[in-house]
Structure 1
Amino acid sequence: MSLWGSITQKADINQYLKKDTQFQQTLKAKDLLALGIGAVIGTGVFILPGTVAATTSGPGVILSFLIAAIVCAAAAMCYAEFSSAIPIAGSAYSYGNIIFGQLVGWIIGWALVLEYMLAVATVSVSFSAYFNAFLKGFNIYLPKSISGPLDPSHSTYINLVAVLIVCMIALMLSRGVSSSMKINDWMVIVKIAIIVIFVAVGLFYIKPKNWTPFFPYGLKGVNTGAATVFFAYLGFDAVSSSAPEVKNPQRNMPIGIIGTLVIATVLYMSVATVLTGMMPFKKLNVADPAAFALQHYHLNWAAGIISVGALAGMFTMMVTMIYSSSRLVYAISRDGLLPNFLGEINSSHLPNNSLIAVSIIIALMGGFVNLNQLAELVNIGTLIAFTFVSLGIIPLRQRKDIVNKGFKVPLYPVLPIISFILCLYLMTKLKLVTWIAALIWFVIGLIIYFTYGIHHSKG
Structure 2
Amino acid sequence: MLAQLFRTKPVEIGHHSGLKKCLSAFDLALLGIGCAIGTGIFVLTGIAAAVYSGPAVVISFVIAGFAAAFAGFAYAELASSVGGSGSAYGYSYVAFGEFIAWVIAWILLLEYGVGAAAVANGWSGYFINTLANFGIAIPEAWTKAPSQGGIINLPAFGIIWLLVFILISGVKQSSTVNNIMVAIKLSTIAIFLAIAVGHINSDNWHPFMPFGWFSSQADGSNIGILAGASLVFFAYFGFDAVSTAADEARNPQRDLPIGLIASVTFCTLIYILVSGVLTGVVHYSDLNVSSPVAYALSKLGYSWSSSLVATGVLAGLITVLLVLLYGLTRILYAMSRDGLIPAAFSKVNPDRQSPTRVILFCGSIISIVAGFFPLGTLAETVNIGTLASFVMVCVGVIVLRKRQPDLHRPFKNPGGPIIPLLGIISCSALMAFLPGETWHRFLIWVGIGIIMYFAYSMHHSKLRQRNS
**Which residue in the other structure is 2:379 paired with?**
375
Assess if the C-alpha contact under 8 Å between 1:33 and 1:256 holds in 2. Answer: yes
Letter in 2 for 1:271: V
Assess if the C-alpha contact under 8 Å between 1:114 and 1:381 holds in 2. Answer: yes
Instruction: Tell me, in whole angstroms, the C-alpha distance in 1 between the residues paired with 2:201 and 2:15.
Output: 59
Q: CA deviation at 1:326?
A: 0.2
Instruction: Tell me, in whole angstroms, the C-alpha distance in 2 between the residues paired with 1:402 and 1:321.
Output: 34
Q: CA deviation at 1:289?
A: 1.1
Residue 230 (1) aligns with residue 233 (2): yes
Assess if the C-alpha contact under 8 Å between 2:348 and 2:354 holds in 1. Answer: yes
Assess if the C-alpha contact under 8 Å between 1:56 and 1:222 holds in 2. Answer: yes
Unaligned runs of 5+ in 1: none
Q: 175, 184, 190: which one pairs with 2:178?
A: 184
Instruction: Tell me, in whole angstroms, the C-alpha distance in 2 between the residues paired with 1:86 and 1:334.
Output: 16
Distance 1:401 1:211, change over 3 A: closer
1:146-161 aligned at under 5 Å gives the runs 146-151=142-147, 154-161=148-155
Instruction: Tell me, in whole angstroms, the C-alpha distance in 2 between the residues paired with 1:65 and 1:6.
Output: 41
**Which residue in the other structure is 2:34 paired with?**
38
Instruction: Tell me, in whole angstroms, the C-alpha distance in 2 between the residues paired with 1:434 and 1:358.
Output: 25
Letter in 1 for 2:150: T
Between 436-445 and 32-41, the greater mean CA deviation after superposition: 436-445
**Which residue in the other structure is 2:258 paired with?**
255
**Which residue in the other structure is 1:99 paired with?**
95
Q: CA deviation at 1:134?
A: 0.4
**Which residue in the other structure is 1:330 paired with?**
333
Residue 429 (1) aligns with residue 429 (2): no
Q: Deviations over 1:27-69 (max 9, x none)?
A: 0111111110111001111222222222222222122211221
Distance 1:259 1:11, change over 3 A: same
Q: Deviations over 1:78-117 (max 9, x none)?
A: 0111101122110111111111100000000010011101
Q: 417, 422, 439: which one pairs with 1:413?
A: 417
Letter in 2 for 1:167: W
Between 342-351 and 237-246, the greater mean CA deviation after superposition: 342-351
Q: Secondary structure at the match of 1:410?
A: coil
Q: CA deviation at 1:402?
A: 6.4
**Which residue in the other structure is 1:442 paired with?**
446
Residue 18 (1) aligns with residue 10 (2): no
Between 390-399 and 319-328, the greater mean CA deviation after superposition: 390-399
Instruction: Tell me, in whole angstroms, the C-alpha distance in 2 between the residues paired with 1:162 and 1:238.
Output: 22
Assess if the C-alpha contact under 8 Å between 1:85 and 1:402 holds in 2. Answer: no
The CA RMSD over aligned residues, in Å, is 1.6
Q: CA deviation at 1:401?
A: 8.2
TM-score under structure 2 normalisation? 0.93
Assess if the C-alpha contact under 8 Å between 2:349 and 2:356 holds in 1. Answer: yes
Q: Deviations over 1:258-298 (max 9, x none)?
A: 11111111111111121111111211121211111111122
**Which residue in the other structure is 1:296 paired with?**
299
Q: CA deviation at 1:124?
A: 0.2
**Which residue in the other structure is 1:389 paired with?**
393
Assess if the C-alpha contact under 8 Å between 1:41 and 1:317 holds in 2. Answer: yes
Letter in 1 for 2:108: L
TM-score under structure 1 normalisation? 0.95
Instruction: Tell me, in whole angstroms, the C-alpha distance in 2 between the residues paired with 1:338 and 1:212.
Output: 55
Instruction: Tell me, in whole angstroms, the C-alpha distance in 2 between the residues paired with 1:169 and 1:421.
Output: 37
Q: What fraction of aligned residue pairs are identical, expressed as a percent?
A: 40
Between 363-372 and 53-62, the greater mean CA deviation after superposition: 53-62
Q: 257, 266, 281: which one pairs with 2:269?
A: 266
Instruction: Tell me, in whole angstroms, the C-alpha distance in 1 between the residues paired with 2:229 and 2:404.
Output: 38
